[in-house]
Structure 1
């Protein structure tokens, strides 16, 4: 039996492969060979069956995306277990997994790190709205820390967005409309010409203004364009190329007297060489990202400039990995990464400094660089025909915080043909970002308010020790999972803020907010995840998920804010493939959501019902209609502000 299992695994690797996400995170896999939710590559950097991998994983397929009518990633993740995608105020969404902070989730595109904003208040918040869903093949979610393979940021888990690959000529055009925004997207595959295949994709979004008191959301236009190429160098050898550009032209009303223009441009490009041989698979890649953010705060009446901020991020990554089949019981993966990140901003004070002037207002701009190096090793060890062990270890070096070693041991034990016990234990960390280290920002959003935020060059990395235990089973039309997770986190980085009010003669009341990043928190985040699915006849399926969370500050034993103690989702899924209809009706319950207001701790909750109906008219035309928050619930704390109508059409050719 051991020999059969080993040969099965060897075949998986040899057949598709490079399904790996290399340290820097290569193209998550050769997606031409992976079309179902039964195979995942993010959890171990090699292709594994979902049932086999020790990690808690979930795969959102292309079919799931279309059934949900998801015009953005936040909508595609709505039904996923153990992840919070609530709106973050009026700008963006959270992407927190298992009660961890949003900046403790690592977001990848084809295994590559996404160069995003880098403060604890902005990191990852906008990324769920920056993906062209027409170009997405599937999304893989790994719940639980995986720093032993991915390094910093992966304390809570990983979201890996895997895109379509060029090859077969054809394409699609889609239009989406909601009561909040409208989108136009396309993807066109030019097909194969000689050794090369090319595909072009693009998206335009028009976001409507929504008011909340004297302020608004970020509204305006977003543009995205991307080009992907693949060259067959030889049998089982490929060269992949990509380049994409994003532009955001947004505006936000900050108060009755001031508003801010947001001009954001991000360009990424890279090459990856990959192949397979008798021993296994290999890959090497380089990719570069330039991200430019210009923000201008102006008086809404006179349009005079109050303040401005310029920020530029440049990221250079080289990474590679090699997978070797060692006999019948071991599959060894070894990889490495070098990453350089340059950050120039008016919001930091470190490294080289110069003065720039915009419309008569002067500001100092500084530039700092962070260098990362890493190597990792993983062994997939089939101890018996029922027992799989996966140990992994990674060494990281950063020029600011030094060395860090993380490790993990995952195990799957087959209790029977239809039941498995899974366990994971490991360590993880998150390195301080350049902003957290060197922030020096004074902002005057209004004439009566001043914001001062300071970094801390003595910050230590956040660290965690975590484990989870799970049981999975399925029998005919019924399946279920139950998992207990426990995460002990030290040196949490927190922005300590004090607010003072003073009366200034001739000016009036002046509000000053002073903040500084510090390692002040220790926390224990633990909980229980349950998932059950029951097929009801030929067309209906009932699915339920539940997460119980106990997240506490170890110093005060108080429940952490911005989290719900209970999250429940009940989903009724209808599928009539013969006539092209499918629909999903689901209700989400959030209770015990902890927050502070006027220095007082409070709890809130909400029950939100949603519906989406999808119709495939033929092989080329489909349409959907949906209602989010069907019962028109409103909650200022959770940012539910009423019913959202949405619909869309997709034409393939």
Structure 2
């Protein structure tokens, strides 16, 4: 892939909601909410975007956010075990800490995580209406952490004109699994509401590979719950809305390379936000205020047992407070430009961490807080009848590092003569040093470095999408190809004495995302995605860990009748380099070694019994693959879940 030296991503799409989705009651599946907060057709946005709707989540049987992310082009999901276990996402070869996750437009990465990475294994999807994934740099819109991409979870909203709608889901199956959800939503005059609770319990499967001679076949259980409440008022020109979301998981854990019956964890998050929005000058200018708070609490306990006399009691507490003033202005026609729009605003964030972990002789302590303020602006417009242009700029001002100026720009050219769209974009992004990296302490021999600078990147991408007129329809097939290229600098790592941290690393990643969709019949649609990635340490030229060269996913939607939907899905992951490996006796192996490739087959079938009731069956890993996404942790074994969901 050395020859592929020019290309790549800009999640320039100024997507998702700067201040959440306007005054509309529900996001429009065919559009992306850009930084201008003007719903824009996805094909007009200069970025590689994947949107998973509520229908996709249900028809494909996704229970958790990790399951939903596994087949997205450009991504590699690495989960250390089954449901609820730690799961990391690597986008286009960048680090897992370089993925920014939003909930209704608000960052929710846990400040108490040492690197600021997000755990994708925690989130249930019962209250999620839509997931927007933008690959490439997004710091010009969202600030720190958006080097590899941005993922926005959009929660369910009240249906317009319906006073009361009751919805839910109940299911059970193998591995002692039971799942349930119940909610109500509606609109009463100017008022709207949505309340929902969901839960999942499972005995799980053995996360320790059977190749380990010390494997005891112990399973890792999960008990997860979540609740969401939204209340709002809107009169057509103004709105006020409040959202409260709670999520808590209780889970069993393992130590590599041995099962550990006394190791368990608790992970809880509270999220709340209050926002208001007003349209001025006949809707030309929309201005809004938002205040949001996220509180994370994680505790891991491991009591002494026959296998080990060690004792663990780790506690992590992190909080993020966000204040945002966002604006969008519809400029209309300006000289040679049409459909012009402007977005601008100010965002202030404050993070705090109080964490202690490790054994008494190797105790890690972080007790710190920091604030930052950002000024941001973005524009988009159409030039002529074919060319869409967009650009953005953001200045982050931090109290304990130098801050960063991010930019992005891109263009989409429509070529209707051949039913194609050409995209090109470029931009910069950054990841601020975490509070642990700046102020953490380990015993008396390690101190964080308060003088660390931000990790930075430059990325660009170029690609096209083309509809082919076959199978008797104009879009019988859609072909998409995107080449991406990312350079990251000032990456943070340990100094030579392992006494602190420094900005000493550089990395590069480049590759191609290829997608093919076929629609050979009204009742059949297939999709195939193949991502080739070459990610390397720029200093040593060694491959970066957990970035496989090849990831291929395939899926289909078969609907032979109006009531039946069958959704098979296959995920192939090629050999993946790893720097933490173990032999069959559980001995640690130094150096870079490759995990074997693996293939997982899933199948979900749904049957609409009545207009309000749908029965379904979800089969996961039907081939019972024992593939290890992370060395020492095997993918969950074969499982089957049957259930029903309803909407009244």
Q: Flag whether TM exceeds 0.5 (same fold).
A: yes
Structure 2 unaligned blocks of 5 or more: 1-13, 209-213, 469-473, 582-588
Counterpart in 2 of 1:320? 325
Alignment RMSD, CA only? 3.0
Residue 266 of structure 1 and its aligned partner are, at CA, apart by: 2.1
Q: 1:25-63, CA deviations, whole angstroms, 9 ceiling, x for partnerless residues?
A: x22454525342x10115764321011111111111111
Residue 532 of structure 1 and its aligned partner are, at CA, apart by: 0.9
Residue 237 of structure 1 and its aligned partner are, at CA, apart by: 1.1
Residue 286 of structure 1 and its aligned partner are, at CA, apart by: 0.4
Residue 643 of structure 1 and its aligned partner are, at CA, apart by: 2.3
Counterpart in 2 of 1:15? none
1:300 and 2:305 matched:
yes
Counterpart in 1 of 2:440? 439
Matches within 5 A, 1:15-54: 21-22=17-18, 26-30=19-23, 32-36=25-29, 38-41=30-33, 45-54=37-46
Secondary structure of 2:86's aligned partner:
coil
Counterpart in 2 of 1:408? 408
Matched residues in 1 for 2:353 and 2:38: separation?
33
- Normalising by structure 2, what TM-score? 0.85
Counterpart in 2 of 1:651? 646
Bigger drift between 593-602 and 479-488 goes to 593-602
Relative contact order higher in (CA < 8 Å, ≥ 6 apart): 2
Residue 633 of structure 1 and its aligned partner are, at CA, apart by: 1.9
- Normalising by structure 1, what TM-score? 0.84
Residue 411 of structure 1 and its aligned partner are, at CA, apart by: 0.6
2:571 to 563, 588, 598: 588
- CA distance 1:608–1:61, shift in 2 (3 Å): same
Contact 1:151 1:429 in 2 (8 A): yes
Counterpart in 1 of 2:5? none
Secondary structure of 1:188's aligned partner:
strand
Counterpart in 1 of 2:356? 346
Contact 2:26 2:157 in 1 (8 A): no
Matched residues in 2 for 1:391 and 1:618: separation?
48
Counterpart in 1 of 2:606? 614
Matched residues in 2 for 1:527 and 1:165: separation?
37
Secondary structure of 1:407's aligned partner:
strand
Contact 1:42 1:160 in 2 (8 A): no
Residue 341 of structure 1 and its aligned partner are, at CA, apart by: 1.1
Matches within 5 A, 1:164-243: 164-167=156-159, 168=162, 169-177=164-172, 179-180=174-175, 182-193=177-188, 195-211=190-206, 212=208, 213=214, 219-232=221-234, 234-243=235-244
Matched residues in 2 for 1:117 and 1:42: separation?
26
Counterpart in 2 of 1:262? 265
Contact 1:258 1:299 in 2 (8 A): no
Residue 496 of structure 1 and its aligned partner are, at CA, apart by: 7.3
Counterpart in 2 of 1:599? 590
Matched residues in 1 for 2:414 and 2:48: separation?
15
1:86 to 74, 78, 85: 78
Matched residue count: 595
- CA distance 1:627–1:403, shift in 2 (3 Å): same
Counterpart in 2 of 1:509? none
- CA distance 1:78–1:314, shift in 2 (3 Å): closer
Matches within 5 A, 1:139-178: 139-167=131-159, 168=162, 169-177=164-172
Structure 1 unaligned blocks of 5 or more: 1-17, 349-357, 443-450, 499-513
Matched residues in 2 for 1:189 and 1:431: separation?
40
Counterpart in 2 of 1:483? 482
Bigger strand fraction: 1
Q: 1:109-139, CA deviations, whole angstroms, 9 ceiling, x for partnerless residues?
A: 11111142543567212x44323x2221111
Residue 276 of structure 1 and its aligned partner are, at CA, apart by: 2.6
Matched residues in 2 for 1:594 and 1:304: separation?
33
Counterpart in 1 of 2:584? none
2:510 to 507, 526, 530: 526
Matched residues in 1 for 2:499 and 2:32: separation?
42
Matched residues in 2 for 1:56 and 1:570: separation?
18
- CA distance 1:469–1:74, shift in 2 (3 Å): same
1:103 and 2:101 matched:
no
1:564 and 2:517 matched:
no
Residue 252 of structure 1 and its aligned partner are, at CA, apart by: 2.6
Contact 1:217 1:253 in 2 (8 A): no
Secondary structure of 1:424's aligned partner:
strand
Matched residues in 2 for 1:93 and 1:515: separation?
28
Matched residues in 1 for 2:123 and 2:363: separation?
30
Secondary structure of 1:184's aligned partner:
strand
Contact 2:127 2:228 in 1 (8 A): no
Secondary structure of 1:429's aligned partner:
strand
- CA distance 1:318–1:185, shift in 2 (3 Å): farther
- CA distance 1:33–1:261, shift in 2 (3 Å): closer
Matched residues in 2 for 1:453 and 1:220: separation?
35
Counterpart in 2 of 1:130? 123
Contact 1:117 1:124 in 2 (8 A): no
Contact 2:81 2:636 in 1 (8 A): no
